[in-house]
């Protein structure tokens, strides 16, 4: 009887497209509510000149937020700010591995926007290398950008976020959850970022500040090319990645940005300390 009922339910859904329309309208309403909740919010997005950082900044701007765009290249930030739609964009050039520049960036952003509701740590670098051929300088570079600077920015932002009941979203990686050969420093930096997210979530929860992270799989961006991968090698890497992600494709920066927007919104107000995969199933598989 249960099997008959289930078959009947499926048949009714097939014969009644109104159910599909209803579900689509509910999703559209949820998206509108999330966007509405971001209107006039004050946001810092690091790594905003390209990739996931840029896609996140542009999505937040379209939702009506004020966004401080932070990255090393002022010209790249100006291009993002110049094409922004919706809210106001503020370009702030800074090398976040330099303590004084990180401090100046947060201070300038808070002053320009009048407060801070959200910090998105999307800045990051990658370098290939195994344990025997990763130099200490390369190790330090990845730890400084991918982990140390994030800790510093969270430390600087926490008092402002406490006053507004704001939150933090860190951009980690599937490599924070799983081990992969040939990128040892990157994997360790992202695993550290995941633990930093969890520890900070516990410490900041009593102050009303949520902290979460997203863990993307392979996403089409400038990350690997900036890390020294040639165009030919990158094209081959993307093609191979279709076979390593169970859904059969790599991701887009916009797909990660949408998850960041949700975690930053009031719709996720009971979520903290989470590391959420957005990876086409990559974290479910073994290294290959």
222 secondary structure, DSSP code: S
186 is catalytic: yes
Residues in the chain: 288
Q: Burial code of 215-241, b = ≥16 C-beta within 10 A, e = fewer?
A: bbbbbebebbeebebeeeebeeeeeeb
Q: One of 90, 139, 186, 262 is an active-site residue; which one?
A: 186
- Helices of type H across the chain: 2-15, 17-38, 51-62, 74-82, 99-113, 136-143, 149-164, 184-204, 223-226, 231-244, 253-264
Give the whole-angstrom CA distance, residue 198 versus residue 211.
7
Tokens of 10: 């499926």
Closest by CA to 68, choosing from 36, 115, 125, is 115
H-helix or E-strand containing 68? strand 66-71
Closest by CA to 287, choosing from 175, 194, 186, 190, is 175
Give the whole-angstrom CA distance, residue 220 versus residue 250.
7
- Cβ-count burial of 10 within 10 angstroms (0-12 exposed, 13-18 middle, 19+ buried)? exposed
Q: Is 174 helix (H, G, I), strand (E, B) or coil?
A: helix
Catalytically active residues are 186
């Amino acid at each position: 009887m249960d099997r008959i009922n289930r078959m009947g339910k499926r048949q009714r859904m097939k014969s009644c497209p109104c159910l599909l329309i209803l579900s689509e309208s509910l999703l559209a309403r949820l998206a509108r509510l999330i966007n509405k909740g971001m209107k006039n919010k004050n946001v810092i997005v690091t790594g905003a000149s390209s990739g996931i950082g840029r896609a996140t900044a542009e999505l937040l701007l379209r939702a009506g937020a004020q966004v401080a765009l932070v990255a090393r290249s002022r010209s790249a930030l100006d291009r993002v700010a110049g094409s922004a739609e919706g809210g106001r964009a503020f370009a702030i050039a800074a090398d976040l591995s330099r303590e004084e520049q990180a401090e100046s960036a947060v201070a300038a952003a808070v002053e320009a926007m009048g407060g801070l509701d959200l910090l998105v740590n999307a800045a990051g670098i990658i370098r290939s290398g195994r344990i025997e051929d990763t130099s200490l300088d390369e190790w330090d570079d990845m730890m400084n950008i991918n982990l140390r600077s994030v800790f510093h920015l969270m430390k600087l932002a926490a008092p402002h976020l406490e006053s507004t009941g704001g939150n933090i979203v860190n951009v980690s990686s599937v490599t924070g959850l799983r081990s992969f050969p040939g990128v040892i420093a990157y994997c360790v930096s992202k695993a550290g970022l995941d633990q930093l997210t969890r520890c900070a979530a516990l410490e900041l929860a009593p102050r009303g500040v949520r902290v979460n992270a997203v863990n993307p799989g392979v996403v089409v961006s400038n990350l690997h090319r900036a890390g020294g991968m040639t165009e030919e090698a990158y094209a081959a890497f993307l093609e191979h990645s279709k076979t390593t992600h169970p859904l059969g494709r790599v991701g887009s920066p916009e797909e990660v940005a949408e998850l960041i927007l949700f975690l930053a919104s009031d719709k996720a107000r009971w979520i903290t300390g989470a590391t959420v995969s957005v990876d086409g199933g990559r974290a479910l598989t073994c290294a290959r």
